[in-house]
Amino acid sequence: MKLLTKEIQNRIPGLYETEDVPLEDKMCYVKYFAHWRWYATEGNAEGKDTKGNDVSVPLNQFEDAICEFNSPYKTKDGKIVWVEDVIFFGLVEGFEAEWGLFSLKELQGIHLPPFGMKVERDMYTDMPVLVSKIRQT
């Protein structure tokens, strides 16, 4: 299962684009789950430009879907970014609920014992949806 699709990339705002929106009014664009739940409300791809400088670009600024890391992707303004990770801001429900940043690369690396269960994307909830509403389901 793909954890990140082009549709999600096109819809999710970049990091800090909704920082003026109260937390209870934030929209969830993708929900991931395993032993915890992650609700992504903003996201950027992080990596290097062609000169080796660190860059952070909103996901909705890429022409193509980001399918793998350490690969070049073209932005809508023609720049090339070697994407190393995707960083989301959102709500994480684990031992307790808290807002913060989480990494797609880290989510992909989770394999729960004893059978190695991986993080999955909620494909059955219509997105985007208010985080406060999705938490009730």
Residue 114 has pLDDT above 90, yes or no: no
pLDDT tens per residue across span 47-91 = 999 999 999 999 999 999 999 999 999 999 999 999 999 999 999
Between the alpha carbon of residue 62 and those of residues 26, 74, 86, the distances in Å are 23, 6, 12
Which tokens belong to 49? 């430009």
Residue 111 has pLDDT above 80, yes or no: yes
Predicted confidence at residue 1, as pLDDT, reads 80
Instruction: Please check whether residue 39 is in contact with residue 28, taking contact to mean a CB–CB distance below 8 angstroms.
Output: yes
Average pLDDT over all residues of the chain: 94
**Domain spans in the chain, listed from the N-terminal domain onward:** 6-134
Residue 137 has pLDDT above 80, yes or no: no
Predicted confidence at residue 72, as pLDDT, reads 96
Residue 104 has pLDDT above 70, yes or no: yes
The mean per-residue pLDDT over the stretch 23-29 comes to 95
Closest among 22, 40, 19 to 31, alpha carbons compared:
40
Predicted confidence at residue 136, as pLDDT, reads 64
Residue 99 CA to residue 118 CA, distance in Å, equals 22
The mean per-residue pLDDT over the stretch 85-113 comes to 95
